[in-house]
Amino acid sequence: MIKNKLKELLASNEYEIEEIEELFENLKLNQTEILNKLKSND
């Protein structure tokens, strides 16, 4: 519920849903995992 509220806040600041969801997915990842994810999607 808290996270949903934060997502709403971001959405009201005109961020895209996909970007917001990706941000919250990244919250669970460490630096190496984020880096690998960025590289793999590049």
- Residue numbers at the binding site for other proteins (CB under 8 A): 1-3, 5-6, 8-10, 13, 15, 19-20, 22-23, 26-31, 34-35, 38-39, 41-42
d(CA 18, CA 41): 14
CB of 38 to other proteins, least distance (A): 5
CB of 40 to other proteins, least distance (A): 10
d(CA 34, CA 24): 12
